[in-house]
Structure 1
């Protein structure tokens, strides 16, 4: 009898563990292919590579889950790591296991509130009007220019009210004796209804030695198989030494669904920089093609050409051309 009781207790514990894990999903993506790029250094050398964190879509391995508290309330979390296809190594920048996302929060009819390492409001907002929707993220400048991309110690609120979405965040600097140092704060507003979406966000960071103000606006319109998207970003960095810098990104692009499986996108991105009154520019034109083998797998190819001037040049090199081809799989 004692043995049977122990087995029942063990089975009950296992059943409880399975039930507790029922709201957890393991997911990810892996991207493999080749990229050739010219003029990667001052000598004008070209580079052929396979090892990357995802040419088309950044590699990731993640865990996401939630617990239903009733009455529309949920506790949810997300843990996500990046990795390199060519080597299998984690993209653990700064020794971070979950370098892409690490947050926990609560949601209800009023919206959701999350705490931890997460994407900035500027990142979420600009994604809606990037012609490539952050695909080819390591080639296109938009996602990398979104007010830091991610904040540590971030407290972020998101609320959806009809076609409107409002966001606000605050990331304390955790500096003893000075709560205002190393902080970040932002607000954002987005609209999406039918074929039209638009949005904007304003961010400010106050760090030892400099302050950073950033804003972005843009929109997209889709009709039939066509989608037109355009946006703008302005980032001003004021330093204590007077070596102020400004980065301005402007872009526009058009995509067309040739068929449910085949999508063609063309876009133009212009980045203008000025550091201590010394300017430079990068003008990037890009054409990408995606063919979906299934809902989770696709083949992709792109060709991109950038003209470089001023401080944006690589040594004496004034242009770069890149070609990528590969396969991406979601799991």
Structure 2
């Protein structure tokens, strides 16, 4: 009996040590809501739709873990799937959110796999809605892509400064550049002030480059937080038919109480091409409110209007109005 007790105690000690060194976390969010939108087709019809993959926040299920390697080093992973709440189907590939593994330490971290781009990680700090309402606000489009496949990425934070660099492998026979992505980013955050910038270059499978850069910042004063951002993208998709897209946005968030906040934002998208008929512009005005029921559950609502011209029009319509409301549960 004593021998058994000793054995159990030894196994318990080892199990405790292992659990202290390694952690695995299940996380995610579920957004259920509806959206009403006008002028969705050439006839000027309106549409009431379910949130699907998430109107305010993306529906996701993820698993991430970290193992202590000693000497300040760790090994970690993150895999994340997206789903449609309305019918339970999967959005895209199994882990279309993230799928990466890496090594980290005091010097930063190097991760390999599908992961959020340096531009995405930089812009989120100065987007008025922090990348909520991704299907409505145009800040996601201003990242030139949320995720990169086959990416080797470095992220390091030293005091108020964060540096990022990425190379995404193109996997094309005979060319290390075709299909690849190169990116760098840097941001600063200290007290009420934060700002940053990122530069990205993607090469198509045929060897044509798309160049993108973004800069922006935010300032917090009491219950108010102001944000301002800009992004410029030049697509060399066809010889002699380059497309330039410029994104500008500004916003203000007000925390009326610990559980109530309001955000107003303006987003502008301008496209231009060598052929003038391809030019277009979108001016989007948004006002959103959020009421927290707990630290992980909140109600949301937004009203928005988009003025459209040129090739930015939807089904020939020059304006669209939208209203969204729903509930989000984070776990």
Label 1:306 to 1:144 Cα distance change in 2 as closer, same or farther (>3 A). same
Shift of 1:211: 1.2
Secondary structure of residue in 2 paired with 1:137: coil
Residue aligned with 1:239, SS: coil
Gaps of 5+ in 2: none
Q: Go from structure 1 to structure 2 and tell me whether the alpha carbon gap of 1:20 and 1:255 turns closer, same or farther (over 3 Å shift).
A: closer
Deviations 1:85-128 (CA, angstroms, capped at 9, x unpaired): 1111111x2xx100000000010000011000001100000000
Q: Deviations over 1:138-157 (max 9, x none)?
A: 11111233122111000110
Residue 161 (structure 1) shift: 1.4
Q: 2: distance between equivalents of 1:131 and 1:203?
A: 22
Choose 273-282 or 19-28, whichever is displaced more: 19-28
Residue in structure 1 matching 2:127, options 115, 127, 130: 130
Q: Unpaired segments of 5 or more residues in structure 1?
A: none
Within a 5 Å distance, the mapping from 1:229-268 to structure 2 comes to 229-268=227-266
CA deviation vs aligned residue, 1:138-192 (integer Å, no higher than 9, x gap): 1111123312211100011011111111110001111122111111001111000
Q: CA deviation at 1:19?
A: 4.1
Separation in structure 2 between the aligned mates of residue 89 and residue 147 of structure 1, nearest angstrom: 26
How far apart are 1:46 and its partner, in Å?
1.1
Secondary structure of the 2:120 match is: helix
Segment drifting more, 47-56 vs 219-228: 47-56
Superposed, which structure 2 residues align to 1:161-172 within 5 Å? Answer: 161-172=158-169
Aligned to 1:292: 292
RMSD of aligned Cα (Å): 2.1
- Preserved CA contact (<8 Å) 1:232 1:250: yes
Check the 8 A contact 1:31/1:85 in 2, yes or no.
Answer: yes
Q: 2:123, 2:160 → 1: CA distance?
A: 17
- Does the CA contact (< 8 Å) of 1:28 and 1:62 recur in 2? yes
Cα contact 2:198–2:214 (8 A) shared by 1: yes
What is the distance in 1 between the residues matched to 2:312 and 2:143?
19
Shift of 1:22: 5.2
Q: How far apart, CA to CA, are the structure 1 residues paired with 2:256 and 2:20?
A: 44
Aligned to 1:36: 36
Contact 1:289 1:302 survives alignment (8 Å): yes
Structure 2 match to 1:97: 94
How far off its partner does 1:51 sit? Answer: 4.2
8 Å CA contact 1:51, 1:87 repeated in 2: no
Match of 2:155 in 1: 158
Q: Secondary structure at the residue paired with 2:45?
A: coil
TM-score relative to the length of structure 1: 0.92
2:279 counterpart SS class:
strand
1:55-105 deviations in Å (ceiling 9; x for gaps): 1111100001010001110000000000111111111x2xx1000000000
The alignment's TM-score, normalised by the length of structure 2, stands at 0.92
Whole-Å separation in 2 of the counterparts to 1:71 and 1:313: 57
